C-alpha cells in the first residue's frame, strides 16, 4: 500500500514524468527482491541500514557503478522521506548515509563544425521521417530542450507568428524560447509533410511516427545516435549532449549565464554552471593566444 501511495505522490504532487516514476519503482522492486531473497522479508518499510548496506555491497560486487548505486539509493531515500512525511516511520534508515564517491563526469559537446555538417551537409532521408528527424536535431540544438520536453511538444506550443516555442519543463514549469529563422523554416517544412499522415488532425502532439502516433523517447535517442555517428567520433551521442552543446556554444559566444539558465529551464544557476567547463577552457585558450604577456 505504501508503494502505491508513493507512486501517486510522485505523479500527482511532485509531477514527475512516467519515465522517472517507473525508474523509482524499479529501484524499490530491486531492493524488495534483495530483502526477500536474503532476509525472507518483503516489507521494506521496516528495513534497517545494515540491510541497505549489504544491498550496496551486493550491487558493487555485481559490477554496478558507484554512480548507478547512488541513483538507486536516492530512490530509497525519496521513499523513506515519503514514509516520514505520512507518519509511517519515525526515522529514515538512510539518515546518516553518505553517497559513494564517483569520478566527475565530463561530457564533451559536439563542435560547431560537427553541428554545421549535420544541419547543412548530411542528407536526411527523403519524405516524412527525414523531415521529422532533421527537425528533431534542429530543435534540440536551437532550443536546448530536454528529450522528454521535445516528445511532449504540442502543435499549439508553436507560435510561428511570434517565432516562439512554449516548453513544459520539470514540475510543469512553462518557459518560452525564441526560434531562429532556420528553425522556423524547418518547422514549416515538417508541418507540411505531417499534414499528410493518418490521424494527424486528431493528434495534439507535434512529433509523430509515420503511423500518426506520438513519438517516444527511445526513437529520439536512436535518431541522434544515427545521424551524429556519421560526423562525430565521440563515444556519447545523445539528446542530452545536444542540450550540453547548445549551452556551451552560447556561452562560448558571449551569452551570460542567467540567460542560458532561463533558456534551459534550470531552477538555479548551480545547475547551469556545469556547462561553463568548456567555455572556460575556450577562454583559457583565447587568453593564452592573445595576451601580450604570454611568451611564445
Catalytic positions: 146, 170, 240, 243, 266, 275
The cell for 23 is: 525508474
Residues sharing a CB contact under 8 Å with residue 111, sequence separation 6 or more, in sequence order:
none
- Burial class of 190 by CB neighbour count within 10 A (0 to 12, 13 to 18, 19+): buried
Residues 11 and 21: their CA atoms lie apart, in Å, by: 7
Inter-helix orientation angle 18-39/66-85, to 10°:
90
Closest CA to 76 of 138, 29, 115: 29
Indicate the pairing of strand 174-178 with strand 158-159.
Answer: unpaired
In whole angstroms, what is the distance from residue 40 CA to residue 63 CA?
24
Task: Reduce the DSSP state of residue 188 to 3 states and report it.
Answer: helix
**Residue 91 dihedral angles phi and psi, to the nearest 5°:** -155, 140
Report the 10 Å Cβ neighbour count for 4. Answer: 8
Q: What distance, in Å, lies between the first and last C-alpha atoms of the chain? A: 70
Task: Determine the Cα–Cα distance for residues 286 and 296; give it in Å rounded to an integer.
Answer: 14
**Residues paired with residue 175 on neighbouring β-strands, in sequence order:** 167
Give the Cα separation of 296 and 292 in Å (integer).
Answer: 9
C-alpha cell at 229: 555517428
**CA distance linking residue 234 with residue 107, whole number of Å:** 10
Amino acid at each position: 500500500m505504501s508503494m502505491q501511495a508513493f507512486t501517486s505522490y510522485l505523479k500527482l504532487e511532485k509531477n514527475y514524468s512516467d519515465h522517472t516514476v517507473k525508474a523509482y519503482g524499479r529501484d524499490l522492486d530491486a531492493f524488495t527482491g534483495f530483502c526477500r531473497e536474503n532476509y525472507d522479508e518483503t516489507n521494506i518499510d521496516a528495513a534497517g541500514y545494515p540491510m541497505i548496506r549489504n544491498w550496496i555491497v551486493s550491487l558493487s560486487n555485481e559490477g554496478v557503478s558507484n554512480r548507478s548505486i547512488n541513483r538507486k539509493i536516492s530512490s530509497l531515500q525519496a521513499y523513506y522521506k515519503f514514509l516520514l512525511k505520512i507518519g509511517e516511520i519515525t526515522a529514515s534508515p538512510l539518515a546518516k548515509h553518505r553517497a559513494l564517491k564517483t569520478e566527475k563526469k565530463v561530457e564533451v559537446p559536439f563542435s560547431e563544425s560537427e553541428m554545421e555538417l549535420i544541419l547543412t551537409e548530411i542528407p536526411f532521408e527523403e519524405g516524412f521521417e527525414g523531415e521529422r528527424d532533421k527537425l528533431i536535431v534542429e530543435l534540440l540544438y536551437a532550443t536546448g530542450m530536454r528529450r522528454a520536453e521535445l516528445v511532449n511538444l504540442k502543435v499549439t506550443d508553436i507560435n510561428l507568428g511570434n517565432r516562439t516555442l512554449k516548453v513544459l519543463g520539470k514540475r510543469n514549469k512553462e518557459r518560452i524560447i525564441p526560434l531562429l529563422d532556420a528553425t522556423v523554416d524547418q518547422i514549416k517544412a515538417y508541418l507540411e509533410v505531417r499534414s499528410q499522415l493518418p490521424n494527424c488532425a486528431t493528434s495534439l502532439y507535434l512529433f509523430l511516427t509515420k503511423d500518426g502516433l506520438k513519438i517516444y523517447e527511445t526513437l529520439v535517442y536512436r535518431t541522434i545516435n544515427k545521424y551524429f555517428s556519421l560526423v562525430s567520433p565521440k563515444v556519447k551521442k545523445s539528446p542530452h549532449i545536444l542540450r550540453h552543446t547548445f549551452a556551451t556554444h552560447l556561452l562560448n559566444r558571449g551569452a551570460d549565464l542567467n540567460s542560458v539558465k532561463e533558456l534551459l529551464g534550470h531552477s538555479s544557476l548551480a545547475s547551469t554552471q556545469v556547462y561553463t567547463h568548456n567555455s572556460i577552457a575556450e577562454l583559457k585558450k583565447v587568453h593564452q593566444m592573445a595576451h601580450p604577456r604570454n611568451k611564445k
